[in-house]
Amino acid sequence: MFRLRQLYRKYWIVPWLWWLVVVLPGVCFIVISVGFLLAMHWPKNYQNVVNISLDSDVNYLTLSVHGVKDSPASWSDELQHKYSQLQQMPFSKLHSQHISFGWQPYSDNVLSCSVDGKKIGEKLGVKLALLPNLQGVHLVAHSCGSFVILGVCEALRERNEAVSIQTTYLDPVSVYSGIFWDYGIQYFGSCANFSDAYIDTQDTVPGSNQALVNAVTFDVTQIRVENKLNHAPHAWPTLFYIDALGEKQVPIYFNSVNKPSSEYSNNTLITWPFAYKSK
């Protein structure tokens, strides 16, 4: 014991260095991390975003959601216009509504968009579940907007099991709440009757370059590369999907009228099988 006291007195600076270099930074990191998570999950009023006009007589609804630091004008508006022009589809004779959904300012924060997006989606899903004549929905999202349609799908499925749900993910971001890196990969598509995804494998955003567990995932990278298209990898799947939808090349699921789920397997990466005509 005497020897230990001598060593402590001789090397008194070592414990202080331990506290300054290891303990205090560790405690600060934990406190900051907990504070960040609390702020991220703190209840917010999303009413200004989810207060959208819904047709009470709608039978089939399509809804597309842009990603982080984006807006409906970049691709979502055009997609919904394309959807409204489709003819001879399983839902063509039904009363349809097509919504390009904007969720700023919550979509502008890279760190919290996943949490805010999922909560916003849950509130939208509750609203859709109240539509008395709704038979089917097709939810499409890009990037962090993927968490919005996941929330919509889960809330709608919980409240109305009869509604036919298709979810389509375009280069989805997988990281949830800043710490769950594979969350989207594991859960996107899990609540839908059928789910498909379109990715560019040269994108470096987590989750945007690999197959989803609960969806059939199409790799559209080579189309961009071979056609020398000047589009960023993360944005390319949205542009691809607009054209492919217009050409009726992508699978559309509604009440199993056509059965893409029987043609493809989830958790597989498939190179896009159709020839693409660049515009």
For residue range 55-64, list pLDDT tens digits in order: 999 999 999 9
For residue range 71-99, list pLDDT tens digits in order: 999 999 999 999 999 877 777 788 999 99
Q: What is the pLDDT of residue 260?
A: 55
* pTM of the shown model: 0.84
Q: How many CB atoms lie within 10 A of CB 88?
A: 7
**Which stretch of DSSP H or E encloses residue 262?**
helix 260-263
Q: Which two tokens stand for residue 194?
A: 């059928």
Q: What is the pLDDT of residue 186?
A: 96
Residues 98 and 216 reside in one and the same domain: yes
The residue-averaged pLDDT of 250-268 equals 72
| Mean confidence (pLDDT) of the chain | 85
> Residue 256: pLDDT above 70?
no
Cα(81)–Cα(71) distance, rounded to whole angstroms? 15
Question: b/e string for 151-165 if b means 16 or more Cβ within 10 A?
Answer: bbbbbbbeeeeebbb
Residue 50 lies in a domain: no
Residue 47 lies in a domain: no
Phi-psi region of 25 (alpha: psi -120 to 50; beta: other; left: phi over 0): alpha
Domain count, the chain: 2
Of 36 and 113, more confident: 113
Residue 279 lies in a domain: no
The residue-averaged pLDDT of 212-230 equals 94
Lowest mean pLDDT among 132-136, 150-154, 177-181, 186-190: 177-181
Cα(13)–Cα(246) distance, rounded to whole angstroms? 71
Residues 254 and 128 reside in one and the same domain: yes
Residues 170 and 137 reside in one and the same domain: yes
Q: Which two tokens stand for residue 95?
A: 């009363």
Q: What is the pLDDT of residue 225?
A: 94
Q: What is the pLDDT of residue 166?
A: 96
Q: What is the pLDDT of residue 6?
A: 55
Residues 33 and 64 reside in one and the same domain: no
How does residue 46 score in pLDDT terms, banded at 50, 70 and 90? very high
Q: What are the distances in angstroms from CA 196 to CA 116, 265, 268?
A: 23, 10, 11
Residue 184 lies in a domain: yes
Residue 211 lies in a domain: yes
Q: Which domain holds residue 94?
A: 57-271
Residues 118 and 256 reside in one and the same domain: yes
Closest CA to 186 of 152, 207, 213, 168: 213
